[in-house]
Every structure is written in C-alpha cells, then in structure tokens.
Amino acid sequence: MSDTAPADLAGIYRQTRLRLADLVSGLDSAALATSVPACPAWAVRDVLAHVAAIPQDAISGRLVGLPTEEYT
C-alpha cells in the first residue's frame, strides 16, 4: 500500500482547465487556427475541443477503451 494520498483528479483537471483558459483566452481566429507542432494535422482549436470532449465522453460512458483514429 502506498503512503501517498490518491490523486485529486477533479482538482488536477480544474487546475489544468484554468491554465488552458488563461493561455487561450486572448487568442484571435488566426491564432486558434495555428497548427500544433505535437499534432500537426490539428489546429489549436481542434486540440482544445479534444481536451474538452474527453471528460464529456467519460461521464456519458462513451469511452470504452482506446479510441480509434477515426473516433479521435
């Protein structure tokens, strides 16, 4: 058994969401359309939509394992 406390996933998600909101809140349409180096087929807007959809999919039970390329 570990001596560390279990991760506060809700708190971690909230902190991450707030940091992301701070990073993108002033971006214009051109900046949101910028390609993301780690995901060159996606724009900043696409990555944000993906990150936002993950908890929605988890809560609704749509996550049933690793997603396919098409699902992502």
Report residue 36 as tokens: 């993301």
Q: What is the pLDDT of residues 4-51, one digit of tens each?
A: 566 788 888 889 889 999 999 999 999 999 999 999 999 999 999 988
Q: What is the pLDDT of residues 44-70, one digit of tens each?
A: 999 999 888 887 888 888 877 777 777
Would you give the DSSP letter of residue 62? -
Would you give the DSSP letter of residue 2? -
pLDDT at position 1: 44
Nearest to 42 by CA among 6, 69, 10, 8: 69
Evaluate if pTM is beyond 0.75. Answer: no
Tell whether the torsion through CA atoms of 52, 54, 59 and 61 is positive or negative: positive
pLDDT at position 6: 65
| For helices 9-24 and 44-60, angle between their N-to-C axes, nearest 10 degrees | 160
